Amino acid sequence: MTGAPIRFDRVGGVAWLTLDRPEQRNAIGPEVADALHDLANRCADDPAVRCVVLTGNGRFFSVGGDVDLFSQAGDDAEPVVLDLARRFHAGIHRFATMEKPLVTAINGPAAGAGFSLSIAGDIAIAAASAHFTAAYSAIGLTPDGGASWWLPRLVGLRRAQEIILTNRRIDAQEAAAIGLVTRVVPDDTLMDAAGTVARSLAAGPTRAIGRCRALLLASGERDIATQLDAEGQWIASSAGGAEGREGIAAFLEKRLPNFTGS
């Protein structure tokens, strides 16, 4: 995909998606939003892809929405930004609801829509030099990309209010301490760390992992009875499926399970 705004590489069961507009600090415009959605669909639908890693090329993960585009739209800013948000959100939603796990490897600063994208991973690994800024209200805007949905769930409402309303910069160490990211690693080991996690997830039970993702995603909207019912249905279905049978057999036989063949 030479020249594409997002580079796609597949190594074994891991798809690597790299935001590839370093000269624009990986700003998100229509081409990036469309590519993100297309690649999310590609990864979700391809059985050879068992885990997805999303990262950025260059010094930045992403500075967020293409503010130059907003300015150039002039009096048409409202429909232009709405169109971009809807295209961007289509990819965000696909990543959130696909069966495959998403790892974000946050290689540098993440702001605005880039901030939203960075925290969307099931596992979010930040380079030590990365930092995070909501940035929206600093230029008179409101969140997109799911920031207002993810943040209260990750860090609690009180911290989410401060992050969104004050736009203060959060360094990588604080981000890990408050649960904004999973962990921090030295810059030069980021890709190795992300690859290790991704390969482990890719070797796991993809269907069961997908159901775990769906249960967690729905947990904040359901009462306990509904959630328990869903858990009961899915653990039973999983136990009767190929992955469950392989996992149980491997446990009893004291061997490592082979989920990729199930």
pLDDT digits (tens, 9 = 90+) for 32-57: 999 999 999 999 999 999 999 999 99
Half-sphere exposure of 256 (CA within 13 A, CB side): 6
Which stretches in the chain have pLDDT values below 50? 1-2
Structure confidence at residue 27 (pLDDT): 96
| φ, ψ dihedrals at 257, nearest 5° | -70, 150
Active site residues: 89, 144
The model's pTM is 0.94
Amino acid 203 reads A
Amino acid 250 reads A
Quote the tokens at residue 73: 């739209």
Quote the tokens at residue 237: 């279905």
For residues 252 and 24, give the distance between their C-alpha atoms in angstroms, rounded to a whole number: 54
Structure confidence at residue 70 (pLDDT): 86
Structure confidence at residue 3 (pLDDT): 81
Domains of the chain with bracketed CATH: 6-202 (3.90.226.10), 206-261 (1.10.12.10)
For 260, which DSSP code? G
Buried-exposed string 101-111: b where 16+ CB fall within 10 A, e elsewhere: bbbbbbbbbbb
Structure confidence at residue 2 (pLDDT): 47
Structure confidence at residue 262 (pLDDT): 62
Structure confidence at residue 237 (pLDDT): 95
For residues 178 and 157, give the distance between their C-alpha atoms in angstroms, rounded to a whole number: 12
CA dihedral 159, 60, 40, 67 (to 10 degrees): 80
Quote the tokens at residue 110: 């993440």
